[in-house]
Structure 1
Amino acid sequence: MSHPPRLRLLLVDDQPLFRKALASLINGQFDMTVVGEASDGAEAVAQMRALAPDLVVMDVNMPVATGIDGVRAARQAGIDLPIVMLTISDEDDDLFEAIKAGANGYLLKNLKPEQLFEGIRLAVRGEAPISPAIASRLLEAFRRGGPPSSFRAPAPGEDELELTRREAEVLRYVAAGLSNKEIATQLTITEGTVKNHVHHALEKLHLTNRVQAAAYAVRHRMGGEGGSGA
């Protein structure tokens, strides 16, 4: 029985020893392989263009150009492949800036290898992998009023389209940390339908990823029935 093509990954970290060790672990997986490496955010963008990987795993704090600089430059260049931050930094400012720049996930380097592999698979499927401790702090920050206003989504009725009842329902499950598959099971719909609802909600709310969507749902206490009909 043949396996599907391996996910092609780009690793970005300024520590060569860490990159090599991580590449060895990833290459041991049946469904992923490392196709390139970079040592800073600027080099990462060049490698994204040259290699067209399926996903990028990138550190935050690097010399020359940080990982956040790299994410921002990639998005400005129209590169929309998943980028997951893998870092020792659990600083709120780094987390918020990475998400604002367009990162698809934020993982800490103290996680187990299996957790990293699962995070990579989630990101490729359109999920937003975030280390549990970071996720709880992120949601708590939004409950308290959130990060700087430049990160926040518009307030209800402020230059946004109204969500349907189903889109609002899906968004509440996203805020609760459920994956697309889990949401599909809860609502008895297909995983593809969930992805469509998430996509439409992001467009209407002018958001770029699931993390911002979850934060929006928490900030606006989306516990009711949502907007207009499904």
Structure 2
Amino acid sequence: MGLIRPGRQLARLTLDTLADLPDDVRSCLFWELDPVRRERALRAGEAKSEKEAWLSGVLLDWGSCGRVAYVDDRAVGFIVFAPAPYLPGAEAMPTAPISEDAVLLSTAFVLPEYAGGGIGRMLMQSVVRDLVKRGGIRAVEAFGDTRAPKRGGVEHTCCVLPADYLLAVGFKTQRPHPRFPRMRLEVKSAVTWRGEVEAALEKLLGAVRPGRAPQPAAGNRGAHREKLD
């Protein structure tokens, strides 16, 4: 692994790193709540607090469920994944449910000005590494949108990932649908990306190493950016 490049990091998704993301991301509950609870939270103006409560619950019950990419201390992208029971919004998708041996990749985002630089692929590989370490998970599945705009990378235009992005990072169609196909990436096959992705990681985000994320002290805005494999 190469030396860490200053200012370029991947961090676990925590309450602190969530706060670095755009407001519309922090208040989006498309996947995290069923439609009835989601509408109730939106009407009550509690979307952000519900998102934080959801993240806290998943971190306590299941563990790490996302990554945030930083360039020069700016959050430029993120990815979220979890077992299907933690993402009840997926039940409304026409190609649901996901397979029992898979976790759900709900969404990902890269700022448009950073699209096309490989950050989306780096985030996806960080998910695969996490699942390999956990063991017992055979695949990642996601719902793609065949009509979502995509210009060289993942863009935050809707709550469902572009199908083209999923295909680009190795997913294959599991259950076809004209608009929202369910797609699947076998964890075992994704491990073969390692050499390619590590080289790109050194070039783009810097080589980073794992560790468990302690709860940062209040006011310590830099401590939460834990370096990852």
Scaled by the length of structure 1, the TM-score of the pair is 0.28
User: In proportion to residue count, which structure has more strand?
Assistant: 2
Q: Which has the higher contact order (CA 8 A, sep 6+)?
A: 2
